[in-house]
Amino acid sequence: MEKEARIALLIDADNSSAGKIELILNELSTFGVTNIRRAYGNWEMNELKSWKAALLEHAIRPMQQFAYTKGKNASDMAMVIDALDLLYTDRPDAYGIVSSDADFTPLVMHLRAKGAAVYGFGAAKTPAAFVNACSRFLNVDQLEADDSDDGGPESEAPAAPLRVATAQLKKDTKLVSLLRNAVHAASDENGWARVGAVGQQIGNQTSFDSRNYGYATLSKLLKATELFEITNEGKSDVSVRDKRRGRNGRG
């Protein structure tokens, strides 16, 4: 039996919402066991009172950090020190970093250079430097939108948009280039590529999650762009081909 990955979850409580923690833990459970859970902040501050119930319910250890001087975030420094200490002592296989603060970018880069995967969780406003440094970054507002859209009587209209429209996807030149290059790299002689292989190609290049665009899977995002042909949709061997390849009459 393959050993499950050990994950250390480190939360910048000063810069994160307690209401997102269940979604985050559920997401991390798909990668392994989150057996280290810590949240950093000055717990004497009224702004962090909303975290109390979440800490108890989800067995998260509060890490107290006083503000030694005005205008400086001592919690961030404490979180970085703990992350590095864990790297060389407990040696987790992966980290979950909950923050929308780009100041953690050097830490993420160092952890990944040492062989640990880093799963970032933050708001849509999170700077690109931090997003791109992570093995995978998830916009928690978008994740909540997907999960809450169950059609039940208790569901509420999510604040975040469910999907990025096709026209907007096509205008995103960076996204289109990433998808087309990944499909090309994973394709066979007829231009067809397994979507799983395309996802692996993308994952080897950059932090990416189709849910950040409002689509539950990569195949749904590829289809939404209207730039690719899809075959065996809904099956394990779903494949994709650049429509330009088909029009050129090759395969």
Return the pLDDT at 121: 94
Return the pLDDT at 63: 92
Structure tokens at 131: 């997003």
Answer whether 92's CB lies under 8 Å from 86's CB.
yes
Looking at the chain, which residues constitute the CATH 3.40.50.1010 domain(s)?
5-148
Answer whether 24's CB lies under 8 Å from 51's CB.
no
Looking at the chain, which residues constitute the CATH 3.30.420.610 domain(s)?
166-247
- Give the type of residue at 173: T
Angle at 194 between CA 189 and CA 195, to 5 degrees: 135
Return the pLDDT at 214: 82
Torsion of the alpha carbons at 114, 16, 32 and 186, rounded to the nearest 10 = -70
Radius of gyration of the chain (CA): 20
Return the pLDDT at 155: 36
**Coil/strand/helix, residue 89:** coil
CATH class entry, domain 166-247: alpha beta
- Distance, CA of 156 to CA of 141 (rounded, Å): 14
Backbone angles phi, psi at 88, to 5 degrees: -105, 0
Report the candidate in 212, 229, 226, 223 with the shortest Cα–Cα distance to residue 164.
Answer: 212
**Helices (H), ranges, 29-127:** 52-57, 74-88, 105-113
Q: Which residues of the chain have pLDDT under 50?
A: 71, 145-161, 251
- Distance, CA of 30 to CA of 32 (rounded, Å): 6
Return the pLDDT at 75: 84
Under CATH, which number does the domain 5-148 receive? 3.40.50.1010
Report the candidate in 118, 117, 72 with the shortest Cα–Cα distance to residue 99.
Answer: 118
